[in-house]
Amino acid sequence: MTLSIEDRTARFTLAQEIAREAGALALGYFERLSTLAVEFKHGGQDVVSIADREVEVLIRARIAEAFPEDGVLGEEDGLVEGKSGVLWVVDPIDGTSPFLNGLSHWCVSIAVAFAGEAEIGVIYAPVSDEFFAGARGLGAFLNGAPIAVAPTRAIEDGLLGFGSNHRIPPEDVGRFVTVLLEAGGMFYRNGSGALMLAYVACGRLVGYYEQHINSWDCLAGLCLIKEAGGWHNDFLAGEGMLEGNRIAGGAPQMKAGLVALLEKAGASTETIA
């Protein structure tokens, strides 16, 4: 079961409009960082500001106005179930730590899911004004131009996007980095999983791996990768939508190399191999 082309197109158009509006609001806050109050949600680097909350309020209001029966899952305000079967999955500012430290690597991430599949993915990085958009069967685009995953590079000659967080034991993170470097590879990390996934979709990174990530951080990026000719694991397996999951994806030719690295690091390859 899939969304009709009419329903998909209507929501794709709206997702792009909302992402630009949300990006403009977030950028306004970014330009006056010294005024923002910051809170720690769960310790470590898990922070939130008024910018995150107000941008999500805007996104939710725009969705409710256009599609009141759709559900919304957001990082800040959780799940509001709908009646249509369509679920919007949003991160108002992915990369809050870079955002609050005055770094440019943050974005607005908006996905639309239906029947367990990501139908739409939109990621907007306001500082660089890079706008990634894709929808199932319609392709993936950067600022209106078609994009594709890296055509030939693999683990040993490309950059692998890599995410980590304080939910994962440091020794697990260290083992994977060690085997990656031993294999001649190199990792890239900028603090925004969504933005790194967009970089995979346009061929800047050969792939991405993170032991645990939330759906609002990655679902839009996974849609982009698939529409750009890449692959990704079954992220939504089990309770992935609400509880998060392992994530792996990238250009087709790097899959075997990534699986080999995970096996050598003693990490599970379930839902990947």
Residues that constitute the known binding site for Mg(2+):
75, 91, 93-94, 217
User: Which token pair is 111?
Assistant: 């996905």
User: Which token pair is 159?
Assistant: 């950059």
- Residues 126, 60 contacting (CB under 8 angstroms): no
Q: What are phi and psi of 34, to 5 degrees?
A: -65, -15
SS3 category, 64: helix
- Residues 76, 56 contacting (CB under 8 angstroms): yes
| Number of Cα atoms under 13 Å in the Cβ half of residue 243 | 4
Q: From CA 56, how far away is CA 51, in angstroms rounded?
A: 8
Which residues, in sequence order, are CB contacts of 81 under 8 Å at separation 6+? 71
Q: From CA 67, how far away is CA 91, in angstroms rounded?
A: 18
Q: Which amino acid is present at 151?
A: P
Which parts are annotated binding residues? 75, 91, 93-94, 217
CA 267 to chain centre: 22
The number of helices, as runs of H, and strands, as runs of E, in the chain is 8, 15
DSSP label at residue 188: E
